[in-house]
Structure 1
C-alpha cells in the first residue's frame, strides 16, 4: 500500500467511527478499513441489505429521471429516507438530471439560468425528503471537461446554484480537475473537517490521483465491462469516506 493510500484509509477509519457514533450504528465489519457509501439509481435498495453489505450509508439523488427513463431511486423520498435513518445509515444528497449522450444534456451545459433552476429543484426535493437544512447537495459534472469549458459553462452554472442555496450548501461531483477549479473559484462550501471541501471526486478522469480536499472518493464505478458489487439485487458504485464530515444529513440539521 502506498503512503497516500495509507493516509487515506487512516482518515477513512476515523470517519467511520464518527459516522457510526452519529447514527448509533455499529462499525460494519466489511468496511473496517474504510467506511463506504454506495450510490445507485435503478431502484431503492432496502436499508437492511445496505447494512448487511457493510456500508455506512448512501449518496442518493435529489433529482428526477431523464425523459425516457424511470429510475426508482430518483428522487429520494421521505419514507425511504426514514427507513435508511432508522437502520442507522447516513444520507448524502446528489443532483444529476442530464448526462452526456442522454435524453437530456449535461446539467452544467445550461449555464447560470440552468444552475438557478437545478438548485431550486434539488433543494425542494432534498427538503421534501427530510434533508438537513445546512447539508450540501453535490451537483454533478459527469464528463471530462477542460478549463475553457469549465470557465464558459460549468462555472456560471455553479454561480447560478450559489445564488439560490448559497456557496456553503453547494458541492461538486467530478474528476479531480473540476474539483480543484471549483475550490479555487470559491463556488463550493467547506466541510467541518479541516482542509476538506464539498468535493465528491470520481476515479474517472483523475489519472490515479486523489484531491486532498475531497470528502468522498468514488472508487468503484459500475460499468458493463467492470460491474460493481451487487447490493439488494442491483449493481452499485462504491465511495470511500475521506472526512468525518462528508455532508451527511444528520450532521447538518
Structure 2
C-alpha cells in the first residue's frame, strides 16, 4: 500500500470538472437524489468480491455505482459477486446505479496465477469468457471490460508477457472494448502501446488505475482511480456489511454500461 495522497488544488479542480460533467454519473443519479459531489469528493464507484451488496445499501452510502467482475471465482473459492448476474445488474440499474465491467480470475499467490502470465492464447481465452459473462448479465455491447494486472510488474515483464496477453484480448473483443486495471506504469504502457481503447471523454483512455504501485501519481488519461484499497491491515469502508474498495471517477465516460448500449 502507498501512503495516503493529499489532494492538490489541481486534482481538486479536475475532480470538480468530472463531478460537474457526471452530475451523478448518469441521468439516474439526478432522478433518484444521489448526494452531490464536491471538489474534494468526486463521484465514486465501489468494487468488491465476497458477495452482492444490495443496491439500496450502495446508494445509502453515497456511491454512484459499482465495478463488478465478469470472471469466475478461483479454484477453492466462492466469491458471491463473481460473476455479476443479470438479476443483480437489473437491481443496480433500477436503483439508478451504474456498472463497469472488470475481469480478474487469478492473482499473485492465489490458487490460479495472475491472468497476464497466460500470454496471447490466455488473452484470447480470457476475453471470450469475459465477453460471454458481460453480455449474459446485460452489459453494453460497446462497453469496455477492464482486464487486471494486479501486480507490480516491470517493463520487461510487460513487453514479454502482459502485452501479448492484451493483444490476445484485442483479437477477440477489439482494442476499443479493452481496458486495463493496474498501477500507473502498466496504465502508461498500455496507452503507449495502443492496446486499450479511448473514452468518449476527451483525452481519456480505458485505464483504471490503482493507488498501489503508483507512488502517489495519477495517470492524466485514467478514467478511474482506486483511491481506497481494502486490506486486512487497512480495511476499506463498510457498505452493506462488507469492506469495499473505493474508486474516484475521473471522467464523464468511465466505461459504464448505460453509456455504451
In structure 2, the residue matched to 1:16 is: 22
Alignment of 1:85-124 (within 5 A): 85-124=93-132
In structure 2, the residue matched to 1:41 is: 49
Alpha carbons 2:253, 2:259 under 8 Å: kept: yes
Please point out which of 200, 204, 215 is paired with 2:223: 215
Pairwise CA distance, 1:19: 1.4
Alpha carbons 1:15, 1:35 under 8 Å: kept: no
Task: Tell me the number of residue pairs that the alignment of Structure 1 and Structure 2 aligns.
Answer: 253
In structure 1, the residue matched to 2:181 is: 173
Pairwise CA distance, 1:123: 0.1
Pairwise CA distance, 1:161: 0.1
SS, match of residue 29 in structure 1: coil
**Whole-angstrom distance in 1 between the partners of 2:31 and 2:92:** 11
Please point out which of 186, 194, 197 is paired with 1:186: 194
Alpha carbons 1:20, 1:26 under 8 Å: kept: no
Please point out which of 84, 90, 93 is paired with 1:76: 84
**Whole-angstrom distance in 1 between the partners of 2:11 and 2:32:** 24
Pairwise CA distance, 1:4: 2.8
Alpha carbons 1:31, 1:54 under 8 Å: kept: no
Pairwise CA distance, 1:7: 2.5
**Whole-angstrom distance in 1 between the partners of 2:152 and 2:168:** 21
Alpha carbons 1:171, 1:199 under 8 Å: kept: yes
For residues 115-150 of structure 1, give each alpha carbon's deviation from its aligned partner in whole angstroms, at most 9, with x where no partner exists.
000000000000000000000000000000000000
Pairwise CA distance, 1:23: 5.3
For residues 99-121 of structure 1, give each alpha carbon's deviation from its aligned partner in whole angstroms, at most 9, with x where no partner exists.
00000000000000000000000
The question of 1:60 aligning with 2:79 is answered no
Alpha carbons 1:37, 1:58 under 8 Å: kept: yes
Please point out which of 122, 128, 137 is paired with 1:129: 137
Pairwise CA distance, 1:16: 3.2
Alpha carbons 1:30, 1:53 under 8 Å: kept: no
Alpha carbons 2:32, 2:95 under 8 Å: kept: no
Unpaired stretches in structure 1, ≥5 consecutive residues:
none
**Whole-angstrom distance in 1 between the partners of 2:96 and 2:28:** 9
Unpaired stretches in structure 2, ≥5 consecutive residues:
1-6
